[in-house]
């Protein structure tokens, strides 16, 4: 297992490098510059700004400047937020998204798996249809609809929760972002769990277990659950990365200050270093959690060995 | 316990007594005990460094944190800020500002003429690379252009401190409206000691020192920015609001929800789609005021047939501006027939003749002009209309394209581009007709009219008329340039139809009925220190 982890880490380095290289050149090939604005800057002013950020040099030089900084852990200055470095912005916003994400993930996992198993065990019953109906609703109800609905219900009509802000992560500020963030994941996890559980329950080894007269709860807990969880675990790796790196909608509607807004704004503002910083963060987390998923696979299914 | 209660009572009494001394609170108005203002701040500002700010989100916040030589009142007139008065020489080239002696930074240091010298010099210094350095070139401060271009030392800028409280600015040519420019953040002072000590980190809440009515307490990107009273501010005794919180919310819908839930007192804007409903439900909380800006369509005059004035006029005449403002935007905008909006200070643009016609007459004239230019059923005019991604721009483009189709038989292809791509496309004249908008930087007609001069960096349509350029150049040295401005309007719009003005912008906000002292002006220079929360 140790060799496997080491191998994954070593594999991650060239993967990340390729990701950084492609992202860097793609970003720089987009039309417009970080400093193009409605008020066209006089050429001499633009020249001063470009010189300050090395934008007056060939892109390849800029790439090496960037790599140089990166090797020292410096993600560079933000082209947009001039009073902050990318390190500072990510350090400020990522913990917010991570906290919302972790809560959302735990809730999505618990409720999603619970609903999925319940629906699978009562396949084609009213319970199955009800649970999956709600799950489908969760999938088709995007969070840009859910977020304002939450504010309408919890804040405007009932004054139970503050409509936005973060306030250091105090729980009243956490509730609605977590609801908006977790709903679609609950639905997805429930669907995957249900499908996988139904398939497992129709397997030969379950039939054998039934024939041997094992009680149902033992069949489910000891025999069906582990193999049924494999597709769920596969889904959880990328889902976890997606969930902890935040959502633009959640950030916009609830003003949490999470990292989600940086995804879109970085690209729209041509904030090259912001896009790169977020890409590296997501890339690293994706590689890390895919490795964790692989390890979990081995834990869940003893047949899998690395 | 009794002692605590007594102390609280004394503090409360003192506080209320202090509040009632506020100069601008009308008699009989009872103030709320909690004087905390929460306002929408648009998007997250790119910076709070006055000489680096280039966007509205930064400039609205900077007016609470910093104070320049002059401020603006509710009508957009200049009122003393750090300067109490100024002298100007006979030919408007040397302005001497007399600074108040009680102006202080939030750390207690006095605000001196040296601070202004430092800030002005900083704005043009290539080492800072201020995106608004060009703002210092407009009034032609001595050597500003050369310094920006790296051809002169920053220290050679035409600014000097005669003494600690006398600041002098020398211009290369007469600019009568120079004082109007001093309420812009690029000309705000910055604390030299603090900037030099902390470098670009000086704007962090733990380091920032400011000279406005407020100082910064917290800045959490994309969540909020918190300001508290600067007790050293010279007019602190007349400041009522104790805390100002700015929420960086880009979505007007999200902002509306915050307002409705009571978490916001003053919004940055309001969602156009909800305007009618809001006017019906909470008319007292909707504010619509004229703004110094014009929404217009720009022709690419470098290519045919847009280099033909008949085509430009035909397209402009066929736009029913009343329909656009009443039914498409529908949020209080005024139809525009001139380029300079009516709200501008010291100038009332003359009504062009085509504005006096009925739309039917304009349409008839448009058809005739287009026919004259060689376009008819057999030779239909087709072109693309460029706009940047935005629901309102799209709606307006659809409406105008349909007017052109219906009236003139013109085929229009709508071309939507993402913001930065759109800017590049326009900059390189890769368009036929494009949406544009311009909001003035200072309250004087040249802030609009200069845009159509041959060499202006934002004249993307490349309109050029030597007489127009001369009129604008002359106007810079005139005490009363209105005659030139009217002639310039006549040439650019009535004669050449350089662009098609569509509507004059308005500032639309939601304001809680308990918020007093909100004094919008055409440049939207509003200050939290003028406001107060009424007991509710």
Partner-chain residue, chosen from B49, B150, B254, that has the shortest CB–CB distance to A83? B49
Of B502, B496, B504, B501, nearest to B313 by C-alpha is B496
Q: How many domains does chain B have?
A: 2
Same domain, B189 and B317: no
Does the beta-carbon distance from A165 to B224 stay under 8 Å?
A: yes
Same domain, B399 and B490: yes
Does residue B250 lie within any of the structural domains? no
Same domain, B333 and B435: yes
Spatial strand order in the sheet of B159-163 = B83-88, B94-99, B166-170, B159-163
Does the beta-carbon distance from A81 to B137 stay under 8 Å?
A: no
Q: Which of A33, A41, A48 is the mutation pick for testing B, counting most B CBs within 10 A?
A: A48
Partner-chain residue, chosen from A31, A89, A165, that has the shortest CB–CB distance to B424? A31
Same domain, B235 and B320: no
User: Rounded to the nearest 5°, which phi and psi values hold at A148?
Assistant: -65, -30
* Below-50 pLDDT ranges, chain B: 1-23
Q: Tell whether B274 lies on the interface with A, counting CB pairs under 8 A.
A: no
Same domain, B63 and B209: yes
| Cα B341 from Cα B383, distance rounded (Å) | 28
From chain A, pick out residues whose CB is under 8 angstroms from the CB of B258.
Answer: 163-164, 255
The enclosing domain of B429 has a CATH number of 3.10.105.10
Q: Which two tokens stand for residue B465?
A: 């008329």
Does residue B135 lie within any of the structural domains? yes
Same domain, B460 and B365: yes
Q: How far is A172 from chain B (nearest CA, A)?
A: 14
**Lowest-confidence pick of A59-73, A197-211, B178-192, B286-300:** A197-211
Does residue B521 lie within any of the structural domains? yes
Q: How far is A177 from chain B (nearest CA, A)?
A: 13
Does residue B103 lie within any of the structural domains? yes
Domain with B312 in it: 290-506
Q: How far is B235 from chain A (nearest CA, A)?
A: 29
Cβ atoms B225, B61 nearer than 8 A = yes
pLDDT for B535 = 93
From chain B, pick out residues whose CB is under 8 angstroms from the CB of A156.
Answer: 257, 260-261
| Cα B387 from Cα B396, distance rounded (Å) | 10
Same domain, B187 and B161: yes
Q: Tell whether A44 lies on the interface with B, counting CB pairs under 8 A.
A: yes
Same domain, B301 and B208: no
Same domain, B168 and B228: yes
Q: Which of A255, A259, A270, A275 is the mutation pick for testing B, counting most B CBs within 10 A?
A: A255
Q: At what angle do helices A86-121 and A126-140 cross, to 10 degrees?
A: 160
Q: Tell whether B263 lies on the interface with A, counting CB pairs under 8 A.
A: yes
From chain A, pick out residues whose CB is under 8 angstroms from the CB of B52.
Answer: 82
| Cα B536 from Cα B411, distance rounded (Å) | 56
Partner-chain residue, chosen from A81, A162, A253, that has the shortest CB–CB distance to B46? A81
Q: Tell whether B134 lies on the interface with A, counting CB pairs under 8 A.
A: yes
Does residue B300 lie within any of the structural domains? yes
pLDDT for B141 = 96
SS (H, E, C) B159-211: EEEEECCEEEEEECCCCCCHHHHCCCHHHCCCCHHHHHHHHHHHHCCCCCCCC
Mean pLDDT of chain A: 89
Same domain, B345 and B397: yes
The enclosing domain of B151 has a CATH number of 3.90.76.10
Of A13, A7, A78, nearest to A284 by C-alpha is A13
Domains in chain A and their CATH numbers?
A: 98-257 (1.10.3720.10)
pLDDT for A227 = 86
pLDDT for A93 = 92
From chain B, pick out residues whose CB is under 8 angstroms from the CB of A100.
Answer: none
From chain A, pick out residues whose CB is under 8 angstroms from the CB of B420.
Answer: 30-33, 36, 268-270
pLDDT for B12 = 34
Same domain, B519 and B502: no
Does the beta-carbon distance from A51 to B129 stay under 8 Å?
A: yes
Burial (0-12, 13-18, 19+ Cβ within 10 Å), B87: exposed
Flag whether pLDDT at A37 surpasses 90: no
Q: Tell whether A231 lies on the interface with B, counting CB pairs under 8 A.
A: no
Judged by phi (left if over 0) then psi (alpha if -120 to 50, else beta), residue B190 lies in: beta
Partner-chain residue, chosen from B145, B257, B458, that has the shortest CB–CB distance to A163? B257
Cβ atoms A174, A103 nearer than 8 A = yes
Does residue B384 lie within any of the structural domains? yes
Does residue B57 lie within any of the structural domains? yes
Does the beta-carbon distance from B134 to A31 stay under 8 Å?
A: no
| The model's pTM | 0.87
Same domain, B362 and B468: yes
Does residue B258 lie within any of the structural domains? no
Does the beta-carbon distance from B423 to A48 stay under 8 Å?
A: no
Q: Which residue of A has its CA nearest to B57?
A: A81
Read off the pLDDT band of A306 (50, 70, 90).
low
pLDDT for A7 = 82
Please give the C-alpha separations between residue B132 and each of A40, A77, B118, in angstroms, as whole numbers.
10, 20, 16
Work out how many CB contacts closer than 8 A connect A with B: 146
Question: What are A93-144's pLDDT values in tens digits?
Answer: 999 999 999 999 999 999 999 999 999 988 889 999 998 888 888 888 888 8
């Amino acid at each position: 297992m140790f060799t496997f982890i080491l191998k994954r880490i070593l594999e991650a380095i060239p993967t990340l490098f390729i990701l950084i290289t492609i992202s860097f050149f793609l970003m720089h090939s987009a039309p417009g510059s970080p400093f193009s604005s409605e008020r066209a800057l006089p050429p001499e002013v633009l020249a001063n700004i470009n010189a300050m950020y090395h934008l007056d040099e060939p892109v390849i030089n800029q790439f090496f400047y960037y790599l140089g900084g990166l090797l020292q852990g410096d993600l560079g200055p933000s082209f947009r937020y001039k009073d902050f470095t990318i390190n500072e912005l990510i350090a400020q916003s990522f913990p917010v998204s991570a906290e919302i994400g972790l809560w959302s993930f735990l809730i999505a996992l618990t409720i999603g798996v619970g609903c999925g198993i319940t629906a699978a065990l009562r396949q084609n019953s009213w319970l199955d249809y009800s649970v999956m109906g709600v799950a489908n609703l969760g999938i088709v109800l995007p969070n840009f609809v859910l977020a304002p609905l939450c504010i309408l219900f919890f804040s405007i009509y009932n004054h139970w929760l503050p409509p936005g802000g973060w306030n250091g992560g105090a729980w009243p500020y956490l509730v609605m972002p977590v609801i908006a963030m977790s709903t679609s994941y609950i639905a997805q996890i429930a669907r995957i769990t249900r499908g996988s559980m139904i398939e497992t329950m129709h397997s030969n080894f379950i039939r054998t277990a039934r024939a041997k007269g094992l009680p149902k709860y033992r069949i489910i807990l000891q025999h069906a659950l582990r193999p049924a969880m494999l597709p769920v675990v596969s889904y959880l790796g990328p889902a976890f990365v997606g969930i902890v790196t935040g959502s633009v909608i959640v950030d916009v509607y609830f003003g949490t200050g999470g990292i989600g807004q940086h995804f879109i704004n970085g690209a729209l503002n041509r904030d090259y270093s912001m896009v790169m910083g977020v890409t590296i963060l997501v890339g690293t987390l994706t590689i890390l959690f895919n490795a964790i998923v692989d390890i979990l696979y081995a834990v869940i299914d003893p047949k899998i060995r690395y | 316990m009794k002692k605590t209660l007594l102390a609280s009572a004394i503090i409360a009494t003192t506080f209320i007594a202090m509040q009632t001394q506020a100069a601008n609170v009308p008699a009989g108005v009872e103030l709320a005990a909690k004087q905390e203002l929460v306002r929408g701040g648009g998007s997250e500002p790119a910076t709070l460094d006055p000489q680096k700010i280039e966007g509205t989100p930064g400039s609205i916040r900077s007016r609470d944190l910093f104070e320049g030589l002059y401020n603006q009142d509710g009508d957009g007139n200049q009122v003393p800020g750090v300067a109490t008065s100024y002298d100007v020489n006979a030919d408007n080239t040397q302005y001497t500002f007399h600074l108040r002696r009680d102006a202080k930074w939030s750390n207690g240091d006095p605000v001196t003429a040296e601070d202004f010298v430092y800030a002005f010099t900083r704005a043009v210094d290539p080492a800072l690379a201020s995106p608004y350095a060009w703002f210092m070139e407009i009034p032609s401060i001595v050597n500003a252009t050369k310094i920006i271009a790296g051809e002169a030392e920053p220290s050679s800028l035409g600014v000097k401190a005669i003494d600690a409280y006398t600041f002098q600015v020398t211009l290369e040519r007469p600019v009568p409206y120079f004082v109007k420019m001093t309420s812009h953040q690029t000309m705000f002072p910055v604390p030299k000691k603090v900037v030099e000590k902390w470098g670009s980190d000086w704007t962090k809440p733990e380091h920032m020192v400011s000279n406005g009515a407020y100082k910064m307490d917290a800045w959490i990107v994309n969540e909020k920015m918190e300001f508290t009273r600067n007790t050293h501010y010279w007019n602190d005794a007349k400041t009522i609001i104790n805390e100002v919180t700015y929420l960086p919310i880009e979505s007007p819908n999200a902002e509306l929800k915050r307002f409705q839930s009571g978490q916001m007192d003053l919004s940055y804007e309001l969602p156009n789609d909800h305007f009618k409903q809001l006017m019906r439900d909470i008319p007292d909380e909707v504010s619509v005021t004229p703004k110094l800006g014009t929404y217009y369509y720009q022709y690419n005059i470098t290519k045919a047939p847009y280099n033909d004035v008949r085509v430009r006029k035909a397209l402009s005449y066929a736009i029913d501006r009343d329909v656009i403002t009443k039914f498409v935007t529908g949020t209080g905008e005024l139809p525009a027939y001139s380029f300079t909006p009516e709200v501008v200070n010291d100038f009332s643009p003359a009504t062009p003749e085509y504005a006096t016609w009925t739309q039917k007459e304009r349409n008839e004239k448009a058809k005739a002009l287009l026919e004259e230019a060689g376009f008819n059923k057999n030779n239909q005019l087709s072109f693309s209309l460029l706009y940047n991604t935005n629901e309102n721009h799209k709606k307006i483009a659809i409406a105008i394209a349909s007017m052109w189709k219906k009236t003139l038989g013109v085929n229009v292809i709508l071309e939507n581009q993402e913001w930065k791509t759109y800017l590049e496309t326009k900059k390189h004249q890769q368009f036929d007709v494009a949406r544009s908008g311009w909001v003035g930087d200072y309250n004087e007609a040249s802030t609009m009219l200069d845009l159509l001069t041959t060499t202006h960096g934002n004249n993307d349509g490349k309109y050029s008329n030597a007489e127009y350029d001369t009129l604008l150049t002359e106007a810079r040295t005139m005490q009363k340039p209105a005659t030139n401005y009217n002639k310039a309007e006549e040439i650019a719009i009535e004669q050449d139809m350089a662009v098609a003005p569509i509507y004059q912008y308005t500032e639309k906000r939601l304001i809680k009925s308990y918020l007093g002292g909100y004094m919008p002006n055409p440049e939207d220079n509003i200050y939290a220190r003028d406001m107060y929360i009424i007991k509710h």
